[in-house]
Structure 1
Amino acid sequence: MKLLKYAIRTISNIPGYSTRKKIVVIESDDWGSIRMPSLQSLDKLEQKGLNLRAGDSSRYNLNDTLADSNDLTGLFEVLHSYKDHNGNPACFTAMSLPANPDFDKIRDADFQNYHYEAFTKTLERYGRTGAFDLWKKGREENVFVPEYHGREHLNVVAWMRSLKRGDNETRLAFDEGLWAFSSSKTGGVNFQAPYDVEYPEDISEQVKIIKDGLSLFEQVHGYKARFFVPPNGKINSAVEEGTHEGGIKYISTPKIHHEVLGNKKTKKHFRYIGKKNKLGQTYLTRNAFFEPNQGMNKDHVDSCLKEIEMAFKYNKPAIISSHRCNYIGSLNTKNRSHGLNELGRLLRAVLKKWPETEFMSSSHLGRIIHT
């Protein structure tokens, strides 16, 4: 099994853009999105019989929520502590979502219509004083560069269908101000996957949502997003193409992409870093993973270093996936401390092993590949 896994990784690193430079990109998903509002909400949902500790969802349910000033300050300190040979600090491409559901308005509409709020309003509701100022500071200092991860981290169409029919678990979660937990799905579509397709007729609404989200991203951040990572990877080509009008030039994709068509049908596509779609958008593919709170019995630094080494061996940039939940401490301060310590250990090891490393954002890499 290990030999097969090694062979697959080797083959997948061969095609596409190549460079002798030791480029390291860190793409961190989910910034701006809600998850677990509070420990009180967690306790209430568990008391009502919901299983929030099953599988990989448990690390999100127990640790993940909107970042506060302590989370961002701690992260930025670590990133500033490690500079490449050009003097650039380590950089997170913060895959961001500019909206969350407006639960009060949805309830007032008797669950018949969807309403959202800008994530800056959500920050206010959560009492995250000063957090958005730090977002702007992180971008100015090039350690935290927001890009587009969708409007919400939520399959709006599927979620609303579930709310309208009065699904018990969906309503229980709604009452606590969240949608996501281990069994949050309907008809095989996970609520966390905004662009998964339950029925083909959902696609046109998803195109509208993704375009609207790009407009909102620009309103919130003051610039157009250039890079897009579909949450959970699932998306239809029409929705992907909808990003073009909004200015997206670079799109993250699995090397084997299963396009969702609805009614549980999919279509397989083979992609590689630097490949372009018919609109000229460039695909970027992740080839390393760093999730330090995903199983404490694993040396995540060593595992990620091996993946980076594999990328460099085949003259590929190392594009690392690392979710927000690894660095959040509002619900569990030990989670943040552990994640930041491990991130520092990874960056230190990278610079020691490859002193010629260059840190950059995904859009920066996209521009290099595109030119």
Structure 2
Amino acid sequence: MELLDTLQSIEIDMGRRKVIDKGPRNIDLDILLYGHETVSNDRLIVPHKLMLEREFVLRPLCQLIPNEYHLTEGKGKTYFSHLQALPPSNPPPIAMIPMPAGLPPITPTKPSRNTLLMAVLNVTPDSFSDGGIHSSTDPTVLLETVKTYIDAGVSIIDVGGESTRPNAEPVTETEELSRVIPVIKLIRSLPEASKIAISIDTYRANVAEAAVNVGADIINDISAGLLDLEMLPTMARLQKTVMLSHTRGTPKTMNKLTHYPDGVLAGIQSELAERVQAAEQAGVRRWRIIADPGVGFAKTQDQNLTILRNLDQLRQAEQLEYMPWLVGVSRKGFVGRITGVKKADERTWGTAAAVTAAISGGADIVRVHDVKEMAQVTRMADAIFRPSL
């Protein structure tokens, strides 16, 4: 009963006043379960007697223990089975994914949400569109770029120290660290960047951890833990928001791995769901995971277009529902081939169309190079597809 007293004390301190039984309140703290114990008295019933009737209780509970059984029902139905048996909520519950640096949470089921801009900041000599522009040893251009990004309204700056474009040569871990760590420190030193999240674009666990230690907020792994078996346990231990992308093979082999027997959408659904499940089994909380369909990674041009036409279908896949989605189409090869623009840094118009399609399909975050221009594109697309209610 001491726990109950503590919870009720917190409710009082936060201003809870009971006006209507089962009505809305500014805070509600309940004890759903207490290990495998049952309690029944005039103040407390555990397990909570209404928990199996409430989607807003069962859905997050199923992210923790979906295959456990309710104590008073024996081994009849799991919590996940109870959740599936509930009628759909109208309106549906709003999922919330926490974001760092004072940013509001991502709400992927909220129709009027704003699309977040993720700015690409490559500190590489060989990235496909901006290699060699920024260097960790010469902060002048770097600072100018970062301040331009901030003025344009970005929410996330994605720092990468190794190109993962198709056929890219790998670099050593030491080289990658020498590129990204000074840049993250520099961004974090800027007062105007205090409310900007920094993501580290890496598939190496050691690089991810070193980046987090100097100020990175998000881990963006294009391989979803496939290229470094320590990545998922490291993500779990660091307890940061993570981005898991669908891909196959390595940058050297991905272009040969584009055969999807059941179609690219089914392939992404099943393979990305496997990576999400692996992350959860490693200890990464589902509400910390952002999914990425991996446009341009182990995909043909037609497959990339299929993703953009059917992103909403991916969002509604049972194994991936209620998750936010990151989509990166900026300056990619298929955009250049379709528009006839060979130089990657001149693909702004084609990128704008692809970004608009992604937002129409439900993207929560778009990863872009041309930040000023894409800020206008996202605002316009949001006004069309996500009007405020």
Superposition TM-score tier, normalisation by shorter sequence: 0.3 to 0.5
Question: Could you state the TM-score of these two structures normalised by the residue count of structure 1?
Answer: 0.41
Question: Could you state the TM-score of these two structures normalised by the residue count of structure 2?
Answer: 0.40
Structure of larger gyration radius: 2
Which one has more relative contact order, counting CA pairs under 8 Å at least 6 apart?
1
Greater share of strand: 1
